[in-house]
Structure 1
Amino acid sequence: MEVKIGVHNAPRELVIESSQSPEEVDAAVRTAISNDGVLDLVDERGRRVLVRAEHLAYVEIGEPMERRVGFGAL
C-alpha cells in the first residue's frame, strides 16, 4: 500500500510502500498526533520512516494495489 506524507517546509512529499494495513497506518498517525509524538512507519523492505507529528502537513493512505507484471499491464 502506498502512503504519502506531506511535511511542513519540505518541497516534496515522502512516499513509501508499506506492508502495514490501512488501519495500522491510520492508528499510528492518530497516536502520533494525539501524543504530539513521532509517526513511525515501516516500508516493505523493513526500513523505518520517522516524522515528528508537529511537522506533518498531511498523510494520504492509499488502497492496496496488485502489482502487474508483463506486456500490456496498465
Structure 2
Amino acid sequence: MDVRIGIQDSPRELGFETSQSAAEVEQAVAAALGGQAPLLRLEDVKGSVYLVPAAALAYVEIGSEESRRVGFVA
C-alpha cells in the first residue's frame, strides 16, 4: 500500500510503500494525532523506518491495498 505524508513547512512530501494494512496505518496516525504517541512511526517494505513528529503532520494519504499490475491490460 502506498502512503504519502505531508509535513508542515516542507515543500516536499514523504512517500513510500508499506506492507502494513490500511487499518494499521490509520490507527498509528490516530494515535499520533490524539496525543497518545509523540511520533508517527511507519515502516516501508524494505525495512526502513520513518519517524515523523506528530506536531509536524500536515496530512497522511493512505493509498489502495491493491497491487499494481505490470504490462498491458486487454
2:54 corresponds to 1:65: no
For the residue of structure 2 that corresponds to 1:29, the secondary structure is helix
Output aligned runs, 1:1-74, within 5 Å.
1-35=1-35, 37-70=38-71, 72=72
Code of the residue aligned with 1:56 in structure 2: it is L
Q: State the TM-score, normalizing by the size of structure 2.
A: 0.89
Deviations 1:2-36 (A, max 9, x none): 00100001111100100000000000001011116
Question: Percent same amino acid among aligned pairs?
Answer: 49
For the residue of structure 2 that corresponds to 1:60, the secondary structure is strand
Deviation at 1:64, TM superposition (A): 1.0
In structure 1, stretches of 5+ residues that fail to align are: none
After superposition, the CA RMSD in angstroms is: 1.2
In structure 2, stretches of 5+ residues that fail to align are: none
Q: State the TM-score, normalizing by the size of structure 1.
A: 0.89
